[in-house]
Structure 1
Amino acid sequence: MQTATLSPSRFAFLWQPGLLPGLALTAALAAASTLLAQTPWLQQAGLSPLTLAIVLGMVAGNTFFPAIAPRTGAGVDFSKNILLRAGIILFGFRITFQDIAHIGWAGVLIAALVVACTFVLAVQIGTRLLRLDKQTAMLIGAGSAICGAAAVMAAEPVVKGQAHKVTVAVATVVVFGTLAMFLYPLIYPHLGMSEQAFGVYLGSTIHEVAQVVAAGAAVSDATASTAVIEKMMRVMMLAPFLVLLSGALSRGEGAAARRIVIPWFAVLFIVAAGINSLQWLPQAVVHAILQLDAALLAMAMAALGLRTRASSLRQAGLRPMLLAAMLFAFLLVGGYGINLAVTALLG
């Protein structure tokens, strides 16, 4: 087992023409998505800057970008690769190990079971029943199981997914995460759960952090607070998930490729979370890091959109959305069962 190394060949495009223009293009799209996300009606719809960035990127990618791709491609690919990994590392500053203490071991076990069951179901149903390729099934599974678009992007370098497959997976997160955001508050009165228990249920089964916040706030501030903490527990599982996924894929490639390569950005994600847990940095610095992180991830999403062709999405068909619908049903019903069972077992 070894950590993936940063070979000089991976950065060959740093010296290619078009780096700065491409970075400027993705930065402009990221800035536009951030501004749009602040409009009240888009906030109510739960559309994050990441979602809007990939939409704007797709619009540009299927209109004017092909004409300027030779002059901007290096910067777009830099955003899609290096800035993506940097954004995932800095994402670690959103969580602390102290979060575990707030939700207890029951919350930890619930998050672990939901993540494991959802991803395994995604791969099994996606490849066996729906005949999807393994990359698409794993990307949709990662997004549904852990933390939406951020998990899809984090899994992309491990599964080596193509841009249009990442876009399809993100689209499923948007559709069913948004549906969950409105549906969960409606069913709350019929579940017989306390506000705190319902918060754990929200955080353990809804896709995106922003969607968790919106759904929790529709019930109460206490529910929203508990939901976010449980959601952060799922986010903390991103790094070990990527390590295990890398190991499983390495074993599946045959005897000649049994060396397990640990994604270096997953290791640094844990380091970032550890530094944040120690509370060494002033809150103003952490806030600045999170702002930078949001910008880097939005630029990466914009780059993915720029490299996605509408024809590729049409070829994907309805099967990815059907898989996401099945996973959504499992999160809604199976996740509820997991919450009740673990709570009854551990209290």
Structure 2
Amino acid sequence: MFKKGNRGNTLHGILLIALFSFAAFYIAEIPFVKSLSFSPLIVGIILGMLYANSLRNHLPETWVPGIKFCTKQILRAGIVLYGFRLTLTEVAAVGLPAVVIDTIIVASTIFFGIWMGRALKMDKDTSLMTATGSAICGAAAILGAEPVVKCEGHKTAIAVSTVVIFGTISMFLYPVMYRAGLLDGLGDMGVAIYTGSTLHEVAHVAGAGNAMDPTDALGIAGNATITKMIRVMMLAPVLVIMGLALAKRKSNEPDVASGKSKITIPWFAFGFIGIICLNTLLQSLLGVDSVKDIPLNGAIEYIDTFMLTMAMTALGTDTSIDKFKQAGAKPFLLAGFLYIWLLGGGYLLTKYLVPTLM
């Protein structure tokens, strides 16, 4: 990829994605876009998709290795750096109820998504990516799973599209449900855990939590975010289990059954865990209340968001309208079923389990 003679073309591809990512950051700060809680990652994939359906065929194919570099190496580095947003202390802050509910939600959503994908006769990779995004943390989880599943870029983009749509709906729906009194049976802590354990993106949780409890006087906004971050931490063990399971599945396929199956171990997932532990140690040594107060944390988070935006943009460039047509309505139907489960099943789990665990 960076061999002599090809280095310039690769850098051109990376530079193209970087320029799109700078544009995504700028657009994400526009008041209307910001009001929708569209992060630079989401804007980036939209820009990438616009490029895929307009200028893609007019630029040199020799730039493709640089774009691929963004979807692989930069993506994995971004997932590792994502760990700087989390600490083990956050788990203890909310306690056992959030951990238990998050664990059940993550496991059940992934298994339900795989089963429903089979029932709908969907592509296995698309259904797994969609389920993973709905189960853990939306686009970031799908990006983390992409190197493990090793699916085509357009399948990743389709999965991201589904979680963005239903996550955005939830961000507006949950505050309406709260103000209508439909969540009164959960209590303030229950509402926080329900919100954090069932909404797709971290941005969606923050948006819904702040709408329900603007000053965090009831603890809904803060505890919802912490519950969500605990859910994000589950990405690492899920990726490890996924890598082992996929290796076993591929070894049973006719075309590889006669050969040795290579187990894909997502080493970047261990880097993600390592960074979380390092961040916890730094917080303890410095005696600060939040990860935001750790020196350079803000700069690292900004760099990480930019790297993930580059990865999302690069994935978007491989997603044309024709590929969406080929995928059909099934991915969105699957995401809809998963959304109903999160909405209804998450409510019942929170209502009956949280009181017994507190």
Calculate the TM-score normalised by the size of structure 2.
0.90
Q: Which residue of 2 aligns with 1:241?
A: 238
In 2, distance between residues paired with 1:271 and 1:322? 37
Q: 1:95 to 1:167 in 2, by over 3 A?
A: same
Taking a change above 3 Å as real, the CA distance of residues 33 and 14 of structure 1, as seen in their structure-2 partners, is farther
**8 Å contact 2:2–2:10 — kept in the other structure?**
no
Moved more, 40-49 or 253-262: 253-262
Distance 1:307 1:73 in 2: 10
CA shift at 1:250, angstroms?
1.2
- Who is 1:176 aligned against? 166
1:112 matched to 2:123: no
What is the Cα deviation at residue 194 of structure 1? 2.1
The residue aligned with 1:190 is 182
Secondary structure at the residue paired with 1:147? coil
Would the alpha carbon gap of residues 259 and 20 (structure 1) be closer, same or farther in structure 2, given more than 3 Å must change? closer
Deviations 1:155-194 (A, max 9, x none): 1111111111001000001100000000011112222222
Separation of aligned partners in 1, 2:30 and 2:335: 28
Matched residue, 1:209: 202
Is the CA contact 1:242–1:263 (under 8 Å) kept in the aligned structure 2? yes
| 8 Å CA contact retained: 2:148, 2:264 | no
Choose which of 123, 143, 154 in structure 2 pairs with 1:153: 143
2:298 to 287, 305, 318: 287
Give the alignment of 1:13-92 within 5 angstroms. 15-92=6-83
Q: Which amino acid aligns with 2:148?
A: V
Instruction: Check conservation: 2:37, 2:204, Cα contact below 8 A.
Output: yes
In the alignment, structure 1 residue 200 sits paired with structure 2 residue 193? yes
Is the CA contact (8 Å cut-off) linking 1:164 and 1:312 kept in structure 2? yes
**Which stretches of structure 1, 4 residues or longer, exceed 6 Å deviation after superposition?**
10-14
The answer as to whether partners of 2:174 and 2:208 remain within 8 angstroms in 1 is yes
**Would the aligned equivalents of 2:190 and 2:351 in 1 still touch at CA under 8 Å?**
no
1:244 is aligned with what amino acid?
I
1:277-301 residue CA offsets vs partner (Å, 9 max, x unmatched): 1116872311111111001000011
* Unpaired stretches in structure 1, ≥5 consecutive residues: 1-9
Show the counterpart of 1:142. 132
Asked if the contact 2:196–2:226 (Cα under 8 Å) also holds between the matched residues in 1, the reply is yes
Q: 2-side partners of 1:164 and 1:12: how far apart? A: 27
1:283-322 matched pairs, under 5 angstroms = 283-322=294-333
Q: Is the 8 A contact 1:177 1:208 kept in 2?
A: yes
Note the C-alpha offset of 1:14: 10
Q: Which residue number corresponds to residue 248 of structure 2? A: 251
The answer as to whether partners of 1:250 and 1:257 remain within 8 angstroms in 2 is no
Cα shift at 1:65: 2.3
What code does the residue aligned with 2:142 have? V
Distance in 2 between the 1:13 and 1:82 partners?
19
Q: What is the match of residue 122 of structure 1?
A: 113
What residue number does 2:289 align with? Answer: none
Aligned residues: 337
Going from structure 1 to structure 2, the CA distance change for 1:216 and 1:64 (only over 3 Å counts) comes to same
Q: CA deviation at 1:11?
A: 6.9
Percent of paired sites with the same residue: 41
